[in-house]
Each structure stands twice: as structure tokens, then as C-alpha cells.
Structure 1
């Protein structure tokens, strides 16, 4: 997976909720403060690994969608365009903060298109949370006014949108070229921009790809050594939220298949980690602040075959 003279390659998946924490006002100031924390953690990882960063965009793209509705003299922009907007915004902020911390290292943020199946089952059964959280009354009003689908996210309610599975990273060669040049690469942001193949090339798809599944696809296509999924939980837990909750520290894809994890939160992370472990790599799930310890298997959850 890596030559003797190269650092090991790690794909780092950074949750959108880590960049705009649950309950935070969705302001630039709050997001920048969280991005500074994320950049500091990733900079430590980048000292020991060649890093490709995949970030989420659920809160951000949902906010853009709300802002999109405020100006009603034009049709709202589709989700793939809003995803590209959020990818550019977050990528710029992350790149700048990483470069400030590591001035001798080149950092590039790359808008990334990812092919999906327009007939993916999720197009009819949305599961991807976007935007802020609401109470029941607020959610009902917004759902009726905008024809949105809403689902429960913990004690709150949020909008959900289609989340087709990623099939192919169209910009993989550019990512490889940048990594081989020794750069930190921010790519597949928000899971990447969903596009579908037509007789005339590619066109956008109305959806938001899950960033953990895109990170796994990237790790497999790059033949990376490790996949690190950073989240607001310090590990994968069984019986989460009960007095019997317990952390899984080392597990396998077959063991994980025996349990159920929520589709809107830990489910895609577990699926992504198990998929990469079956591919032959080592996958990790843990807290942002413990990134290096998670990779060293001193914290978090390690998934291996």
C-alpha cells in the first residue's frame, strides 16, 4: 500500500457535526472555532501519515438550503450545487487553518465529483440528516411549507434528504497526483458532488452522499493503509444511551454485522469501517481530539478482518 520511503497513507473522515457542533448557532465564528480545533488534530496526524481529508457537510448544506429559500425570485438551487458550495467553503477554511499550522506543507482543497446511481433506493427513502435541529412544531411547519421529509435525530427533528451510495470518484487521478507530491489533500467534501452518467457526459443528482462511505471508497481506490472516521463519539458503543452501554474497542466486520446501528448516525460509520476492513485495511472510529491515539489503538474502536 505504501513504499518503504513513504509515510503510510491515512484517509481521515471528519464529520460535519464536528465542524458545526450540535446545538451551536450556525455562524461563521462558531464554524471557524471548530475548524481550528479540527485542523490542530489533523496536523498532528499529518506529521506521521500522508493524509487525505474527507469532511461532512450536513449542517452546512442544510443551512445553505434554508438561505436558498429566502430569495424566492429564482428557483432554489439543487442539492448537488449546494453541496459544491459547502465543499468549497469548508475546504477553504480547513486548508487555510492547516497551512497556518504547517507552513512548510502544501495543502490543496479539491472539488470532487462522485458518480452515483440515480435509481439508488435512498432516492425514495431519504436518510441523510442536513441542516439544524428543530422541535416538533417547527419541523411540522417547515415540512409542510417546503415539502421536506423530517425524521427524529435524538431528542430533536431534522430534515433528511436522499443519500445515494458512491460508485466512482471521477477526480481520483488528481487526488493521487497531489498525494504523491507530498501534499495534504482535502477532497470528496460533503461526500463529494453526486453526479450521474448520461449520453452527453455527467449531470448533477439531487442528493447528499454520506461522507463516511465516500471516505471508504477513496481509501480503497487509493489503496490506503488506514481509514480514520472522526466523530463526536469516542468509540462505537453497544446499547448506546442505556445503563448497559459499552464500548467496542477491537472488533471485526462479522461481529459488527450482528448488531444494529442507527442509519442516520453511527450506521454509515460502522458500515464504512467494516467495508474497508473486509478490503484488507484497518479502520478506526473515534473522537476528533484523540485522532493519533485512535490510530495507535489506544482509544476509539479498531475494525479489522
Structure 2
């Protein structure tokens, strides 16, 4: 892809950019720095730089191709970090991307994340890590804005959570944009950069496809979010969980109940932030029963929560039973 092709957009998003080749011709990039500013990316597309200092210097250099495989490797690695997935890393991401290259398939996040079947080239351990990573995304819970931010597309930052506040589906977004107009919708929410708008429009088909697939992970505007602080080992009769996996399991159980008023759980790291405390038998909290609530039934717990004057201590097994709508056992 050539840089001039990128500039054809009606939004004219890259007016303060030049191709590396042009920047060299204008001597904005001195001859001594040629080795650091290659004109073409490994994917074959032109590289570009942002011009600063009234045209006397450059900041940053990147490939002009939005679907450059080198970019996608790093973006994919960042995506898993934002979803709090551990163990994937650039090496596995690179192998997955090269699978698509070797099979002449289009490299997009939607194709990668929604692909079923095995990837040739991944070891058994890497396949397990990859499967766990995809399951983490599938059982995550977040607002639509948070989800779009976590996808790690260029130009789409954390502020998109505020921009899409109150929206819980791509249909909600389309309706709001149709009502307000595209430019007004974003400018009234603080998005002034045409580069950001260009990126969003370019990636919107992928974003829409992923939102449709992962719609069950998106918090609705009416959904209640309860905070949970976990301490000690999350050991249950079914086995031991990491804290992250325990919350994922609880949220999966909540989804399975099809509650009239949806509820999801969010892990927090300190007791003052928490509505519930889940304490393993090895924890100080479990031994001292400092936060133990003398309540048994779910409706009694809800009444206490409305008063907002009580923190409720559960063992891991008791909390799973509570999530399923059962009673908290004595102990």
C-alpha cells in the first residue's frame, strides 16, 4: 500500500504525515538517519512519519497499511493484555498471524478471534494457552466502550468508554449516530481528531462483527455490577481456581440463570471497595470471621445489601452456592 492511497479519505486524516521517502526528499529526515527510517515495511507497504516543528522534524514512524501483519502481531498482543490474559505474548501471536498468511486468508482480529479449529505451528502447550485466552475473552464482562478499547485498534483509546456510555450494542450506536449525525455524535463527546474517526470507520465492520459475537459479554445500561474481594486460596469441592478464573466461573453461572435484573461481578483488590468478600480457609479473614454476616437466605442478603451497612463473607463453595441462588451454609 502506498501512502498516497491512505490520503484519499474524505476525512483527510493524515494531513500532518508524510511518507518516509518524501520526508527524505525534503531533508526533514537527514541522510545520517536513513538507516533508522526505512521507506518500506516488511509487509511491502510504504512507511510514514508525523511531521512536527513546523515541518522541521518528525515524530514516530509506522507502516501506512492498517492491516500490516507486523502491526497486527503487536496489536493482538496488546489486546490480550487489556483482557488481562497472561501467557500469550508476541511469539504465539506471530505464529497465529503467520498461519493466516500461509493460508492466504485475510488477517483481521475478527477472523483470528472467531476462527474455530487448530492452528498449525502451535505446540500443544501453546494451543492450550490460546484456547484459555479466547475463553477469557468469551467470559469477560465489560461495557461496550471498554470492549472496543480492549480490542486495541490504533487511535481508539480508553476515552471510548465515556463516548459510548449508556450504549450496549452496535444497534444502539447506529441509532444514536443516525439521530445526531456522525460528526456531531463524536465531536459532542470530545473526539475532534479526524485520524481517530478514520480509524474507527475503517475498523467498524470488524468491531461490529466482534460485538455481535461477544454481545453476551457486554454490560447493559441496567445491569448491576457487584464488587468482590478475594483472599486466600479459591479452593472448592470441584477443585482450585485462580482468582480470575473464579470470577469468570461465577459470571458464567450468573449468565446461565437468565435473571430478570442482570448481575455481574467485578474483582477488586481491597476490602473497602468490595461488596462481597470471598475468603479461602487459609485466609486471615476466614479465621477471624471479621466480616462474617449472620444471614442465610438470598433475600436476607439482598435486604442487607440495600441497607449498605454490611459486608458479607463467604467461603468459595458458599459463594458459588449463593450465585446459583442457594443458601449460605453454616460454618
Q: Is TM (by shorter chain) over 0.5?
A: no
Q: TM-score scaled to structure 2, two decimals? A: 0.22
Higher strand share: 1
Higher RCO (CA < 8 A, seq sep 6+):
1
Normalised by the length of structure 1, the TM-score is 0.24
- Structure having the higher helix fraction is 2
